[in-house]
Amino acid sequence: MAQSILDTMPGASTGALVVTDHLNFWGGKRVKPRQEKYLEPVFEPATGRILCQMVPCGAEEVDEAIKSAHDAYQKWRKMSGMERARVMLEAARIIRERRENIAKLEVINNGKSITEALVDIDVSWQTIEYYAGMAGTLAGQHVQLPGGAFAYTRREPLGVCAGIGAWNYPFQIACWKSAPALACGNAMVFKPSPMTPVTAVILAEIYKEAGVPDGLFCVVQGGAETGTLLCHHPMVAKVSFTGSVPTGKKVMEMSSKTVKQVTLELGGKSPLIIFKDCEMENAVKGALMANFLTQGQVCCNGTRVYVQRDILPQFLEEVVKRTKAIRIGDPLLEGTRMGALISKPQLNKVLGYVEGAKKQGARVLCGGDPYVPSDPKLKDGYFMSPCVLDNCRDDMTCCEGEIFGQLCQCCLSTQRRRSSRGPTTLPLDWPLESYQDISRAHRVAENLEAGTCFINNYNVSPVEVPFGGFGRENGQVDHRVLLQLKTVVVEMGDVESLFEVLLPSLHFCSHKCE
């Protein structure tokens, strides 16, 4: 069972864990795959060794999970918001109590540093706690009408929601999608990324332990085919997807066939805009935070750094110095600040962007090479030295595509109009501005076409505020798209009808007609 896996985490080390438990979950328990002929290996990024085998769910299994979720939904939706809140608060407490063990398992499956993973788990329980607090406040509206009549609205759950997660924040994304859905009275069937299938089922078991009805949060494993089954299933009322723009388009198209509601949390190519009046120390810190969290595998990372000419040399010097000092290695060690990329193909993709940038005229100031840690067990891991590029232009491939790797591209900003309009050429951008002139900061933020702007900070995403570029999650946005509004109109007197005046008077004869 998953709890036994967590029990082994205090003494866990990189390269030692093998996961053999079933990774599907519905009906309140882990479920054995019906057939195991389509096994897909799941790798530990830090070592390159096989961590476990993932078996994709087929149509029958997806249908069974969705029906399990629907049965649980029928019970959950009838509970009051306060009753749901108590269960969710218990789930948050359990996660908080086991944060270190969950974080270690996340690191082994994902490759990020334990320092970051602990933050991710804290964000996870805080998300559940936040939406538990909101569950009891969801209410409709009363409207008084003429003549004593009135109307009221009911905010009702949608039903079974499908969540499709990504591999960069496996446990946190599962919480981001499930917590608001459950708070609103819905059930969820969640499909994690096939590269990080291990921790979502831990969340399912925690929800069960906390007291949700069996089946309320189900986990189905698989890739594109399993995701397609979720999008097409007639009993799924909404799909929430986190991933790439091309896949997001397919999800939207498939979901439209049965007119499902859709939330898309997609990728980006975000710019940092650094003006010469910035506080240099904070600007450099912001650049590192914007580029190198989770080995650069973050949708909102600010990988295009626009710097004004007057401060560019000083900025580059400081960024390069601190980038070279980042400690790369075993992600389970507390001193490590950069772990491994998610897979060998992803590593090769990022290295390919570096080579392409050099051919197009960019200068490599540091990094951009495969990195082999001194620990022998890490020799086959997917490590790369963090890279800083200079002399980049907007028309370069590295400045156009979402790289999803530790690659910072610095561009000279020669005019204010150019800098503030830079983000609008690409979809789903999330800019940062670094200034001391706060008036200009607000003015630029107003004119940027972007879903999220950071001023003098970066990657600060508390659950209380909406997060997103095209789609939105967190804050008070989620409950608006996870509930449907029903209007009830009540007449306290007689029914008025326009058609009565059109009807002739009817006279009934009391005698038999012959």
**What is the Cα–Cα distance from 325 to 323, expressed in whole angstroms?**
5
**φ, ψ (nearest 5 deg) of residue 333:** -85, 135
**Token pair listed for 372:** 């082999």
**What is the Cα–Cα distance from 427 to 414, expressed in whole angstroms?**
23
Burial category of 53 from C-beta neighbours within 10 Å (exposed 0-12, middle 13-18, buried 19 and up): middle
Task: Give the pairing type, strands 50-54 and 142-144.
Answer: unpaired
Burial category of 224 from C-beta neighbours within 10 Å (exposed 0-12, middle 13-18, buried 19 and up): exposed
Cβ contacts of 246 within 8 Å, gap of 6 or more: none
**Residue 411, amino acid:** C
The order of strands in the sheet holding 24-26 is 29-31, 24-26, 217-219, 187-191, 160-164, 236-242, 261-265
- Do 88 and 131 touch, CB atoms closer than 8 A? yes
Our CA angle for 181, 198, 255, nearest 5°, is: 40
**Residue 329, amino acid:** G
Q: Which residue shows structure tokens 């002399």? A: 391
**What is the Cα–Cα distance from 9 to 145, expressed in whole angstroms?**
61
Cβ contacts of 447 within 8 Å, gap of 6 or more: 420
Half-sphere exposure of 34 (CA within 13 A, CB side): 11
Residues labelled catalytic = 265
In three-state secondary structure terms, 368 is: coil
Q: How distant is the alpha carbon of residue 508 from its chain centre?
A: 71
Q: Which residue shows structure tokens 């397919």? A: 250
Q: How distant is the alpha carbon of residue 277 from its chain centre?
A: 34
**What is the Cα–Cα distance from 395 to 7, expressed in whole angstroms?**
51
Locate all alpha helices (DSSP H) within 113-192, ordered by sequence.
114-135, 170-183
